[in-house]
Amino acid sequence: MRVLGVDPGLTRCGVGVVEGVAGRPLTMLGVGVVRTPADAELGQRLVAVEQGIERWLDEHRPEFVAVERVFSQHNVRTVMGTAQASAVAMLCAARRGIPVALHTPSEVKAAVTGSGRADKAQVGAMVTRLLRLDAPPKPADAADALALAICHIWRAPAQNRLQQAAALHATRAPAARRSPLPSKGRTS
């Protein structure tokens, strides 16, 4: 499985590609950051993020894209930029028919470090170890993108089984609801 992880942001959008399967050593295929100038107009910044992500999709041809789920922050301006960059990443993947998975920061931290409250240094150290790198990727946005890809590779099999079970249940449940119960004591 080849996954492009995206740590969305307007100034620095972390991107990282990891290949492998759960239970086996993983391989980093690329890591970097799509940067936009803070003083540029919002529309231009979003186009720059789109172009950067499109280049990563062209170069690495991932089977999945894992994006950090935007969560509420106290700084509304920051969360808006993050949400906009996240939407651009999802749009780029959807345009190509690539499935997108959203993972919360605590899910990613728990998957990679064992603790949903790990700090950035711990995430970077574990990404370095798991991918057998010489040093943690810099900046932290790049390490976070790799952590997202790792999280998806490790969690996707279980998520797929849950989705299949839910789909099976959904197809059986309507049939059970449609079958009329016999009425007692009523005649037509």
Burial of 123 (0-12, 13-18, 19+ CB in 10 A): buried
- Angstrom distance (rounded) from CA 75 to CA 60: 34
By the 8 A CB rule, do 2 and 60 touch? yes
Q: What is the DSSP letter of 22?
A: T
Tokens 């651009």 found at: 88
Here the tokens at position 110 are 């728990």
Q: Which amino acid is at 41?
A: E
Which residues have CB under 8 Å from 6's CB, separation 6+?
Answer: 13, 14, 15, 53, 65, 66, 67, 68, 86, 89, 145, 148
* Residues with catalytic roles: 7, 68, 141
